[in-house]
């Protein structure tokens, strides 16, 4: 009997797979046996090398999710190699400024990538999953800001809170149709998005002091949660937002 965490023969789309958490998730899924369709704005050579080293297929799709324009193309190109079984909505951006000074442009840019494009890409992929009746797995990458307010990131907090709600709504609609929709809420990981925080000695020290695990997360520490939510092991898990945060929310 195969492991309930085995993804052999499955294919996964991972957005924002060129670096950081997206890259780590793509590699973890590949090591569990899934072929990877990596979506990103820039070259994904490093991700492709790591995925192929796991012995599975790798397809690169260049796309900027700042608009809905590439959604149809992503779905079409991803389907060329076979059925899409897993979608990981990882692509996201952040803008920082005091709420009193926050601009409409920064609000719209974050909401468009983090929430709007995520919904419509999920819709496009789910149509295929529903059409053949074989179901699938959708994993949204939420945030601790899906639970908390944060400071100086109003559109990011709004988008990630919205993504948690969207995860639950889609789970309610699709659970009975064989599609699991769940989310992962990463804590403070060493990525491009947190570089400004890590370079601020006061903020970095305050964050580190609250993490029971005693260190900022490494991208590789997120992969296991993604494999679980993508695999048969989570077949009866619907609509959860799973924190992977070193104990931050427990503090």
The residues annotated as belonging to the active site are 156
Please tell me the chain's helix, strand, coil percentages from 3-state DSSP, rounded to the nearest 5. 50, 15, 35
Cα dihedral across residues 154, 159, 162, 167: positive or negative: negative
The candidate with the shortest Cα–Cα distance to 38, out of 56, 195, 133, is: 56
The candidate with the shortest Cα–Cα distance to 121, out of 172, 166, 60, is: 166
| 206 membership: H or E segment, kind and range | helix 201-210
Question: Within 10 Å of residue 246's Cβ, how many Cβ atoms?
Answer: 22
Question: Within 10 Å of residue 194's Cβ, how many Cβ atoms?
Answer: 20
Beta pairing partners, 241: 183
Beta pairing partners, 136: 179
| 224 membership: H or E segment, kind and range | helix 223-230
């Amino acid at each position: 009997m195969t492991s309930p965490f085995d993804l052999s023969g499955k294919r996964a789309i991972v957005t924002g797979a060129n670096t950081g958490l997206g890259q780590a998730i793509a590699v973890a899924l590949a090591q569990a046996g899934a072929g990877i369709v990596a979506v990103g704005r820039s070259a994904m050579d490093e991700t492709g090398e790591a995925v192929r080293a796991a012995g599975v297929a790798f397809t690169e799709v260049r796309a900027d999710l700042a608009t809905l324009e590439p959604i149809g193309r992503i779905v079409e190109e991803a389907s060329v190699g076979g059925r899409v079984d897993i979608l990981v909505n990882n692509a996201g951006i952040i803008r920082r400024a005091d709420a009193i000074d926050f601009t409409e442009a920064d609000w719209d840019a974050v909401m468009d990538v983090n929430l709007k494009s995520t919904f419509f890409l999920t819709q496009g992929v789910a149509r295929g999953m529903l059409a053949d009746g074989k179901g699938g797995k959708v994993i949204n990458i939420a945030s601790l800001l899906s639970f908390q307010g944060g400071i100086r990131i109003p559109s990011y907090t709004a988008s990630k809170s919205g993504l948690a709600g969207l995860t639950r709504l889609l789970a309610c609609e699709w659970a009975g149709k064989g599609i699991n929709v769940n989310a992962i809420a990463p804590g403070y990981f060493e990525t491009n998005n947190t570089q400004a925080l890590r370079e601020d000695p006061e903020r970095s020290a305050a964050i580190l002091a609250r993490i029971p695990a005693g260190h900022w997360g490494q991208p590789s520490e997120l992969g296991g949660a993604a494999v679980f939510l993508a695999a048969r092991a989570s077949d009866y898990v619907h609509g959860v937002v799973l924190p992977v945060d070193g104990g931050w929310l427990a503090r």
